[in-house]
Amino acid sequence: MRVVIAEDNALLREGLVLLLRTVGHDVVAVVRTGPEILPALLEHRPEAAVIDVRMPPTFRDEGLKAALAARQSLPGLPVLVLSQYVEQSYATELLGGGAGGVGYLLKDRVGRVEEFLEALDRVAAGGTALDPEVVTELLARRRNTPLDSLTAREQEVLALMAQGHDNPAIAQALVITERSVSKHIGNVFLKLGLPPTDSGHRRVLAVLAYLENRA
């Protein structure tokens, strides 16, 4: 997989390069500031981009803005955004556009190598990867909505769906049958007023769109 990395922290940047090259990916460009991101993506047209939200020169949201601009110029470009903290506005802006191939992870997740690589692969394949802590915070900030009608188990299923897991993975994580997972998912969509669908990231994005519209 051809990857562009945008990260200003030298230690994390070099760690990402080493990790991705070790597992066989081709790091085609590494940039250190916000203004460098879009030109690098347009030049190399990678199969995935790993981008820090806050980049020089202002350390605000240069990375996020570059990611959004890149996906306008290169529709479908898979982008995995890294952030030091859970920032709801960034997550919803990136993920609420109704297209797949996007992810939002906390930087701590990079240290969990298998989880990070799995998330990158999922995003590159057109799926969605949300950090569990991001999902938890997004759900916790919603009150007096149909989310309140979900059972504890349905909320667990919803959270795992939002992270990008499919039915077998949810069943394994919760130690229940796939039939039970399907039933819970059907209940979630029914209670949230969403059309039932069983196709990968589309159902995740439907849930995220619901959350965003009721922020």
Give per-residue pLDDT as tens, 4-53: 999 999 999 999 999 999 999 999 999 999 999 999 999 999 999 999 99
Rounded alpha-carbon distances, angstroms, from residue 22 to 11, 109, 112, 113: 16, 18, 15, 12
In CATH, 142-213 is 1.10.3720.10: no
Q: Which residue has the higher pLDDT, 196 or 171?
A: 171
CB proximity list for 147: less than 8 A, separation 6 or greater: 139, 155, 158, 192
Lowest mean per-residue pLDDT among 58-67, 88-97, 142-151, 153-162: 88-97
Topology adopted by domain 2-132: Rossmann fold (3.40.50)
Angle in degrees, CA 35, 38, 40, rounded to 5: 100
Pairing between β-strand 102-106 and β-strand 26-31 as defined by DSSP bridges: unpaired
Among 171, 207, 215, smallest CA distance to 188 is for: 207
Orientation angle between helical segments 152-162 and 178-192, nearest 10 degrees: 90
Taking the C-alpha atoms of residue 116 and residue 136, their distance in angstroms, rounded to an integer, is 18
CB proximity list for 22: less than 8 A, separation 6 or greater: none
Rounded alpha-carbon distances, angstroms, from residue 49 to 37, 44, 95, 109, 114: 10, 10, 15, 16, 18
Lowest mean per-residue pLDDT among 41-50, 63-72, 133-142: 133-142
Q: What is the pLDDT of residue 104?
A: 87
Q: Which residue has the higher pLDDT, 199 or 125?
A: 125
Q: Do domains 2-132 and 142-213 have the same CATH topology?
A: no
Domain limits, the chain: 2-132, 142-213
Task: Please report, for the chain, how many H helices and E strands are present, in that order.
Answer: 10, 6
Give per-residue pLDDT as tens, 146-181: 777 889 899 889 888 877 788 999 999 999 999 999
